[in-house]
Structure 1
Amino acid sequence: MSPFWGEVFGTMILIVLGAGVVAGVVLKGTKSAESGWIVITAGWGLAVALAVYAVGDISGAHINPAVTVGLALVGEFPWASVPSYIAAQVIGAMIGASLVYFHYSAHFNATEDEGAKLGTFATGPAIRHTPSNFFSEVLGTYVLVIGILFIGANAFTDGLNPLIIGLLIFAIGLSLGGTTGYAINPARDFGPRLIHAIMPIKGKGTSDWAYSWIPIAGPIIGGGLGALSYAAMFQGIVYPALWVFIALFTAVMVLAFMLERKNIKTSDEKFEYQNLRGKKA
């Protein structure tokens, strides 16, 4: 199997088990319905561990564009292979999301909650606040990438590394995932969100594309910062890209605050207009 197909297969396994556990918890009538956040985070951790076991020796099991870009930034992965890896990850995520849909099709039909259906495929914020949501994805992915590099710098018993990485995902989900559902992986969110938009899911509602840039931009910036800061702090190598990513993070945070202020102002104006109409009536 080539590295490209390794990334396709590994990401497919990630989504089949990761989105699958979400579907089991949030969709109506499953035997695991309403079993809670710990079940979801444990499922995602085990999904990552199995995906790494499956294709780690084939492709390195990036299964995440943020990991691929982060490693490329510090010279641990060739930039020429980045586009094909990201394409493979998105394709794998789309295949995995499709399989989850067909597996749970009866439960999708039985579920009326549009948010639950979308949540099976893509992430969304518990409280919609653009700067906070973006920062959550940056921080979660920062911890992911720098954590992977920490793990790689230590010697473990043969075959244990994938399980440790799975525990890292579990820890991130428990500690940081409650705000946005911790995408920490652009392919994990974009591919399944696209499948949600395409599939003829009964009463599925919107795919919330207005939010979709956050689980793409946040993880890419967070992953880049994680890899670059690891190199600076633990290897004594300060790449110029570190300052670029710090500036990029700052610029996007400023933009996010501006968007949030604009949204609040628009909502206030709409509320005042509705009240005025009500008084005239």
Structure 2
Amino acid sequence: MTTYIFEFIGTGMLILIGNGIVANVVLKGTKGADAGWTGIALAWGIAVFIGVFVSADVSGAHLNPAVTLGLATAGKFEWNLVPGYMLAQILGAMMGNFLVWLTYKKQYDATEDQGSILATFCTAPAIRSPFWNFMTEVIGTFALVFGVFYIAGGTISNEPVSLGSLDALPVALLVMGIGFGLGGPTGYAINPARDFGPRLLHALLPLKGKGSSDWSYAWVPIVGPLVGGFVAALVYLWIGI
């Protein structure tokens, strides 16, 4: 149970800081509107650093169902723990975004643009093309999970792999690089919990003039990252080092 709690806490911290910067940039009446994409990518890297550092020594700091699936596929994580980890990650993401909403409550009330409100919860494509949006999420998540394998372990063995607190910085830099290099087309969910949990929260919260939660697109940032994590595990096993 303690590992699940720290997955919840770590994912919550990830989303609180990550979507907190999005809210600061896009909502009306904040002081961070000039931060732009550079600020968002940097802050998501910091968010990953904090989330991993807080939870790594207890839960291994997956914070992402795609990472959990990838590690389990490669034999580095017990399959019986996968459902509990994924549930903790989704609930943690919801809690993190709930705290974002509380922080920016007056700004949400002042913002009329439905797309800006939704952006503080979940991702949306710059150009809507489901197949190519899906491919972007697969590639971005492949880069994340494949990198995590070597940051956290680096060799094929029967030993379990998990991130330690010293791995927080390289993982943060990896996510930051994905944001700068691959994030433009879809807003780089690269994490099903990061998108699904807050999107569900968006649907549930009494947000003024919030509009649609865009469930027709939601499969892309859920299925794409899971496929990317699975493929990363297969390539990792195929290399066999």
Please indicate, yes or no, whether the TM-score normalized by the shorter chain is above 0.5: yes
Which SS does the other structure have where 1:135 is aligned?
helix
The structure with the largest helix share of the pair is: 1
Question: How much has 1:160 moved relative to structure 2?
Answer: 3.7
Cα separation, 2, equivalents of 1:10 and 1:228: 27
Name the residue aligned to 1:85.
85
Q: How many residues align?
A: 232
Question: How much has 1:230 moved relative to structure 2?
Answer: 1.4
The code of the aligned residue for 2:231 comes to: L
Equivalent residues of 2:4, 2:85 under 8 A apart? yes
Name the residue aligned to 1:263.
none
Equivalent residues of 1:26, 1:34 under 8 A apart? no
Instruction: Return 5+ residue gaps in structure 2 as ranges.
Output: 155-163
Greater radius of gyration (CA): 1
- State which of 190, 205, 208 in structure 2 corresponds to 1:202: 208
List, as ranges, runs of 4+ consecutive aligned residues in structure 1 with deviation greater than 2 Å: none
Question: What is the RMSD of the two structures over their aligned residues, measured on CA atoms?
Answer: 1.2
Question: How much has 1:34 moved relative to structure 2?
Answer: 3.4
**Residue-by-residue CA offset, 1:55-103 (whole Å, 9 max, x unaligned):** 1011000000000000000100000000000000011011111110111
Cα separation, 1, equivalents of 2:101 and 2:240: 43
Name the residue aligned to 1:130.
130
**Residue-by-residue CA offset, 1:158-215 (whole Å, 9 max, x unaligned):** 9542111000000000000000000000000000001100001111110000000000
Query: Identity of aligned pairs, percent?
Result: 53
The code of the aligned residue for 1:116 comes to: S
Which SS does the other structure have where 1:31 is aligned?
coil
TM-score (normalizing by structure 2)? 0.94
Name the residue aligned to 1:211.
217
Name the residue aligned to 2:235.
229
Equivalent residues of 2:74, 2:236 under 8 A apart? no
Equivalent residues of 1:16, 1:100 under 8 A apart? yes
Cα separation, 2, equivalents of 1:18 and 1:118: 14
Cα separation, 1, equivalents of 2:194 and 2:234: 23
TM-score (normalizing by structure 1)? 0.81
The code of the aligned residue for 1:32 comes to: G
Name the residue aligned to 2:175.
169
The code of the aligned residue for 2:17 comes to: L
Equivalent residues of 1:25, 1:32 under 8 A apart? yes
Cα separation, 1, equivalents of 2:6 and 2:133: 31
The code of the aligned residue for 2:104 comes to: Y
Question: How much has 1:227 moved relative to structure 2?
Answer: 1.6
Instruction: Return 5+ residue gaps in structure 1 as ranges.
Output: 236-281
Cα separation, 1, equivalents of 2:116 and 2:51: 25
Equivalent residues of 2:27, 2:107 under 8 A apart? yes
Cα separation, 1, equivalents of 2:123 and 2:92: 17
Cα separation, 2, equivalents of 1:231 and 1:22: 36
Which SS does the other structure have where 1:123 is aligned?
coil
Cα separation, 1, equivalents of 2:118 and 2:103: 16
Name the residue aligned to 2:196.
190
The code of the aligned residue for 1:55 comes to: S
The code of the aligned residue for 2:185 comes to: T
Question: How much has 1:152 moved relative to structure 2?
Answer: 2.4
Equivalent residues of 1:137, 1:180 under 8 A apart? yes
Name the residue aligned to 1:241.
none
Question: How much has 1:228 moved relative to structure 2?
Answer: 1.4
Which SS does the other structure have where 1:121 is aligned?
coil
Q: Which gives a bigger RCO, structure 1 or 2 (Cα 8 Å, sep 6+)?
A: 2
Name the residue aligned to 1:220.
226
Cα separation, 2, equivalents of 1:234 and 1:176: 27
**Residue-by-residue CA offset, 1:17-39 (whole Å, 9 max, x unaligned):** 01101100111111101321010
Cα separation, 2, equivalents of 1:161 and 1:63: 14
The code of the aligned residue for 1:97 comes to: N
Which SS does the other structure have where 2:206 is aligned?
coil
